Amino acid sequence: MRLHDKVALVTGGTSGIGRRIVERFAEEGASVVFSGRRAGLGEEVAAATGAIFVEADVAHEADAERSIAAATAKHGRLDILVNNAGGPAPVGRIEDLPLDGFDEALAVHVRGTLAHLKHAAPVMRAQGGGSVINLGSVAGHRAGYSSSLIYGVAKAAVIHMTRCAAMELGEDSVRVNSISPGGIATGIFAKSIGMAVADAEGTVEQVKTALAKLQAVPRAGLTDDIAHAAVYLASDEAGFVNGEDIVIDGGLIWGRRFSEVMAGGHAWKTLFE
By residue count, the chain amounts to 273
Query: Residue 199 CB: number of other CB atoms within 10 A?
Result: 11
CA-CA distances (angstroms) from residue 168 to 33, 114, 144, 172, 192? 25, 14, 32, 8, 35
- Whole-prediction pTM: 0.92
Sheet holding 174-181, edge to edge: 52-55, 31-36, 7-10, 80-83, 130-135, 174-181, 245-248
The average confidence (pLDDT) of the chain is 94
Residues identified as active-site: 151
pLDDT of res. 210: 85
Q: Which residues contact 206 (CB under 8 A, 6 or more apart)?
A: none
Look at residue 197 in the predicted model and tell me its pLDDT: 66
Q: CATH for 7-271, among 3.40.50.720, 3.20.20.70, 3.40.50.10420, 3.40.718.10? A: 3.40.50.720
Percent of the chain scoring above 70 in pLDDT? 95
pLDDT category at 195 given cuts 50, 70, 90 is confident
Question: Percent of the chain scored above 90 by pLDDT?
Answer: 83
* pLDDT confidence tier of residue 19, bands split at 50, 70 and 90: very high
- What's the rounded Cα separation, in Å, for the pair 117 and 202? 32
The domains of the chain are located at 7-271
Return d(Cα 70, Cα 162) in angstroms, integer: 24
In this structure, the number of other CB atoms found within 10 A of the CB of residue 59 comes to 20
More confident residue, 208 or 49: 49
Confidence of residue 138 (pLDDT cuts 50, 70, 90): very high
Using one digit for the tens of pLDDT, what is the confidence trace for 141-164? 999 999 999 999 999 999 999 999
Cα separation, 19 vs 34, in Å, equals 9
Rounded CA gap, 32 and 223, in Å? 18
In which band, very low, low, confident or very high, does the pLDDT at 198 lie, cut at 50, 70 and 90? low
Instruction: Quick: pLDDT tens for 101-135.
Output: 999 999 999 999 999 999 999 999 999 999 999 99
Longest dimension (CA), the chain: 75
Mean of the pLDDT values across residues 42-59? 97
d(CA 107, CA 98): 14
User: Mean pLDDT over residues 177-191, rounded?
Assistant: 87
Instruction: Identify which of 17, 56, 18 has the alpha carbon closest to the alpha carbon of residue 35.
Output: 56
Alpha-carbon gap, residue 53 to 44, rounded angstroms: 9
